[in-house]
Amino acid sequence: MSDTTFTFRVDDDLKKQFAMAAKEHDRTGAQLLRDFMREFVQQQQHAAEEDAWFRRQVQAGLDSANAGRLTPNDQVEARFAARRDATRRRLEPSR
Q: Residue ranges per domain, the chain?
A: 12-91
pTM value is: 0.68
CA–CA gap between residue 72 and residue 79 (Å, rounded): 11
Sign of the CA dihedral with 22 first, then 27, 29, and 31 last: negative
Q: Would the pLDDT of 95 be above 70? A: no
- 25-66 residue pLDDT tens: 999 999 999 999 999 999 999 999 999 999 999 999 999 999
Whether the CB-CB separation of 30 and 19 falls below 8 Å is answered with: no
48 with 37: CB under 8 angstroms? Answer: no
Cα–Cα distances in Å, from 61 out to 53, 65, 76, 77? 12, 6, 16, 19
